[in-house]
Amino acid sequence: MAGIAIYPGTYDPVTKGHIDICERALKVVDHLVIGVADSPTKITFFDLDERFEMLQAVFGDNERISVKPFSGLLIEFARDCGAKVIVRGLRAISDFEYEVQLAGMNRSLASEIETVFLTAAQRYAFVSSSLVREIARLNGDVSEFLHPDTLRRLTEKLKNTQ
């Protein structure tokens, strides 16, 4: 086992694709820290507290997973968590180029921290948070892509913003 790993993202909202990556990461690490990014350059539908709460609702009972918000450099967050591994999910080849660039930059900043890529399960390879939000906004059924608590929160927020 690889000790502690972080799985960073905006999770706006968390999807079953994210959940699948987390569950599979636990096969190779002892503890997974889900880092909920607070990025000033990214406009999110759910605020940081809401995204944190959604992840807590999904993973709160799992002792091997913790959820922490972060801002700033990813490698500093990894160091603060004691992580030696950054987990990243790949859905398609289009994700690969960007993720390799990120991994290279992170390696140049912190050579002691490795990036590990997990490919999305086939049934989630096309699922993204932005696509799920858009389908839900147009009254499409996204229940197969979201945890029930996340679906409830998304439905409520869409009702309150229209």
The single residue of 91, 107, 137, 157 carrying the catalytic annotation is 91
- Whether residue 129 has pLDDT greater than 70: yes
Is-catalytic flag, 91? yes
d(CA 46, CA 157): 8
The single residue of 16, 51, 129, 147 carrying the catalytic annotation is 129
> 4-161: what CATH class?
alpha beta
- Whether residue 73 has pLDDT greater than 80: yes
Give the HSE-up count for residue 66: Cα atoms under 13 Å, Cβ half-sphere. 12
- Whether residue 161 has pLDDT greater than 90: no
Question: Taking the model in full, what pTM does it have?
Answer: 0.94
